[in-house]
Amino acid sequence: MKLRFLGTGTSTGVPALLCDCPVCRSDDPRDRRSRTSALLTTPDGKNLLIDCGPDFRTQALDAHSPKIDALIITHHHYDHVGGIDDLRPYCHHRTSADGDMPVYGSRDVIDDIHRRLPYCFGDNLYPGVPTFDLHEIIPGKQFTAAGTKVMPIAVRHGEATICGFHIGSLGYITDCSTLPDESLTALHGIDTLVINALRMKPHRSHMNLEQALTVIRDVNPRRAWLIHMSHDIGLHSQTDISLPQGVNLAYDGLVIEIPD
């Protein structure tokens, strides 16, 4: 499998508006972090989009408009769903045999999409609106998206329970403050763990770097990549070299190989 990090930034993105800290002023492209999202290419060549935030359009252009076979969503916060309307051209490229663009999310996500994009559902749709085939998922209950088995994992995000994903030998955990024991256990044995690390200081609804490293030590994957970072994670060039062996900061546009 192949994973492209489309975006690796927290909800504000980096640089943050109105900020002139050294990270937000950095010329290093790895310090430019759009809102967190990723594209997974499965062993049979299908592309699963993981979250679709407000930077989706430019992320897809930077990736040369890759095909997208399904969207899987971790939770309904704006930085993870704000770009769904921009899937319009993808919806229009689907044939009647393909059906509408499949979207997988928890009940909260599905309700939010109905509220956020009411014009995409119902009768007498305005011509040209994107159309979706929504599927409810439940943590602990495996589903199949674009021919690939996906296990949603329960993740605590502040007061909310959201989804992480276990797909083949990949674990993908964003917007996590704590992981229930059964979710940690479910990740044991994976090759690659992608996990959020917001900043150095603690935060109510996200892991800081130290908490992410603790989970990485527990899960013990071959490789771990950090995502959903704010400018407070520091300069990529400085923070990345301070990390333990096998752990790195991801950055926008990075593509990694994951054993099938």
Asked if 55 interacts with Zn ion (CB under 5 A), we say no
The residue whose Cβ lies closest to Zn ion is 77
Q: Give all strands of the β-sheet with 255-257 in edge-to-edge order.
A: 132-136, 101-105, 70-72, 47-50, 37-41, 2-7, 255-257
**Contact region for Zn ion (CB under 5 A) — 25-33, 38-46, 79-87, 95-103?**
79-87
Judged by CB under 5 A, which of 77, 166, 231, 236 binds Zn ion? 77
The contact pattern for Zn ion, residues 7-46, with x = CB under 5 A and - = no contact, is ----------------------------------------
**Short-list 130, 133, 134, 36, CA closest to 85:** 130
Judged by CB under 5 A, which of 31, 51, 55, 79 binds Zn ion? 79
- By C-beta, is 86 or 175 nearer to Zn ion? 175
Number of residues in contact with Zn ion under rule CB under 5 A:
3
- Residues 53 and 81 sit within 8 Å (Cβ to Cβ): yes
**Helix (H, G, I), strand (E, B), or coil: what is residue 152?**
strand
Q: State the residue for tokens 């199949």.
A: 144
Minimal distance, residue 178 CB to Zn ion, in Å: 14
Please tell me the distance from the alpha carbon of residue 195 to that of residue 162, in angstroms, as a whole number: 14
- By C-beta, is 92 or 107 nearer to Zn ion? 107
Q: Do the bridges between strand 2-7 and strand 47-50 make them parallel or antiparallel, or are there none, so unpaired? A: unpaired
Minimal distance, residue 83 CB to Zn ion, in Å: 13
Residue 181's identity, in one-letter code, is D
Which of 55, 69, 79, 86 does the annotation list as catalytic? 79
79 is an active site residue: yes
- Residues 209 and 241 sit within 8 Å (Cβ to Cβ): no
Judged by CB under 5 A, which of 31, 55, 69, 175 binds Zn ion? 175
Structure tokens at 125: 């749709």
Minimal distance, residue 195 CB to Zn ion, in Å: 13
**Short-list 169, 232, 168, 165, CA closest to 195:** 165
- Footprint on residues 230-249 left by Zn ion (CB under 5 A): none
**Contact region for Zn ion (CB under 5 A) — 59-67, 94-102, 170-178, 230-238?**
170-178
Active site residues: 79
